[in-house]
Chain A
Amino acid sequence: MASPTGPAAGDAPSPSAVLTAADVTRVVDRMAHQLIEKAGDSLADLVLVGIPTRGAPLARRLAARVAAFSGTSVDVGTVDITLYRDDLRLRGVRALEDTVLPEGGIDGRLVVLVDDVLYSGRSVRAALDALRDVGRPRAVQLAVLVDRGHRELPIRADYVGKNLPTRRGQSVKVHLDEVDGVDEVLITEVGS
């Protein structure tokens, strides 16, 4: 699992780690720098909104790193998108997760949605709908730890931790310490 090169996605049935804990830390640091660079003067306006489950701790980490690098503290929130999903009929209902927004709301601010994996784009669409109901941000951007392709909607991330070419038969799993007790990104074969 701690293979130094990080094996490419092969045909092996066992999960292979494409990012190790050290890689995840480096990638988050880089994304934090990119956020600071791109936000420029509007850094104080920035709100990092995580999409549960794993987007939420990811947003908190990014905020902590942005604060450490820039000295500016950044607001963090989470927005649960379950009630906005278009696949509830296909996949069934599930328990809801927290929705927490900063005190002053998101009106007029620069919101960056944060998620672990960008795949079909449907989660992001649902998150955009949810945001529209809670306020009117000045702009909305998207940050993801892994972009694995196969978009079904015209959605593109502004900040990408790692581009990961995959097949549809593969599954990309992001594990984060806060949720899973370990930091890593795995690819598994599910289709075969």
Chain B
Amino acid sequence: MKRHLLEAADLDRADATLVLDTAAQIDAALAGREVKKLPTLRGRTVVNLFFEDSTRTRISFELAAKRLSADVINFSAKGSSVSKGESLKDTALTLEAMGSDAIVVRHQASGAPHRLATWVRGSVVNAGDGTHEHPTQALLDAYTIRHRLGRLEGVRVAVVGDVLHSRVARSNVRLLHTLGAEVTLVAPPTLLPVGVGSWPAEVSYDLDAVLPKADVVMMLRVQAERMNASYFPSAREYSRRYGLDGRRMGALGDDAIVMHPGPMNRGMEIAAEVADSVRSTIVEQVGNGVSVRMAVLYLLLGGNT
């Protein structure tokens, strides 16, 4: 493993499989235990440095670090008026001076974790940067797929929605490709990034054509906060063409699963009856997130630093 986890491409197939296997072992070892804590990272300090709102990712990382007995500092930069570049470097050097062993960073600017990694000696874990990447989300998605379907090789995954702004999609395409799955991106042309042709994925504009062949449907959140241009005519039209409702769910194969990274817009990209159905892995994904992040922290911090 590399020292940092900045993007899904930092993991080759062996590394990614090691993370998933480690997470599965941690899951099994902690299942049914009263004391859900391991002493592995005793004396290590993990800083959660969040420049952007987050519920599940921050709590998930915090819980993962605490279950491994690391000390956790939550640094929420919301409301800070210091200019971006400077504050990030100053903050990083301050945290370094206080002896942090790892920095888990979420930032609204794509590439911020990469910059951070050049300033500090400890490990940097990208917890989402702008519209770039969110590697631990991709790992927990891969883990969830493998857990439900028993394999990743040859699994057909449809990633549906706002691919343009989605760091989840970017990381998933890369990681799932590394692990041997076949990804199809489904979105209106306005919500696909320039250069999507060079990604290791198929592209389709027609959800109904893709669904019957998919083993996994991964719905992306329509990011209202980034919808500052006319990407689609109306929410209603988007929902009719690219939303997953009960009728569309009926077109899926018997064992197909429905995923969503959260937070969901119920009724927009995913209907409530789909989100609450037995095919949905949405709650499971959250639980798996903790085990996968424990695995990442263990593999990055457990050994020689």
Contacts and interface: CB of A to CB of B under 8 A. Distances in A.
A49 B143 CA distance: 29
B37 A95 contact: no
Interface string B23-56: 0011011000101011110000000000000000
Interface string A71-99: 00000000010011000111111011111
B303 A97 contact: no
Interface residues of B, number: 20
A40 B64 CA distance: 44
Contacts of B33: 133-134
A84 B40 contact: yes
Contacts of A134: 33, 35
Contact of A89 (B25, B38, B39, B305): B305
Given A83-B298, A93-B299, A95-B18, A88 B40 contact: yes
Interface size on A, as a range, is: 10 to 19
B21 A93 contact: no
Contacts, number: 51
Nearest to B25: A96
Contacts of B35: 133-134
Given A83-B39, A83-B40, A96 B304 contact: no
Nearest to B305: A89
B64 to A, nearest CB: 13
A80 B305 contact: no
B302 interface: yes
Contact of A97 (B25, B38, B68, B305): B25
Given A95-B22, A99-B25, A134-B33, A89 B40 contact: no
A96 B303 contact: no
Contacts of A98: 25, 28
A75 to B, nearest CB: 16
A129 B39 contact: yes
B225 to A, nearest CB: 38
Contact of B304 (A84, A92, A97, A100): A92
A95 B20 CA distance: 11
Interface in A34-82: 80
A99 B30 CA distance: 9
30 contacts: A80-B25, A83-B26, A83-B39, A83-B298, A83-B302, A84-B38, A84-B40, A88-B40, A88-B302, A88-B303, A89-B302, A90-B304, A91-B303, A92-B304, A93-B298, A93-B302, A95-B18, A95-B21, A96-B21, A96-B22, A96-B25, A96-B29, A97-B25, A98-B25, A98-B28, A99-B25, A99-B29, A100-B28, A133-B35, A134-B35
Interface of B: 18, 21-22, 25-26, 28-29, 33, 35, 37-40, 68, 298-299, 302-305
Interface of A: 80, 83-84, 88-93, 95-100, 129, 133-134
Given A83-B298, A96-B26, 17 more contacts: A80-B29, A83-B39, A83-B40, A84-B40, A89-B303, A89-B304, A90-B304, A92-B303, A92-B304, A93-B299, A93-B302, A93-B303, A96-B22, A96-B29, A97-B25, A98-B25, A129-B39
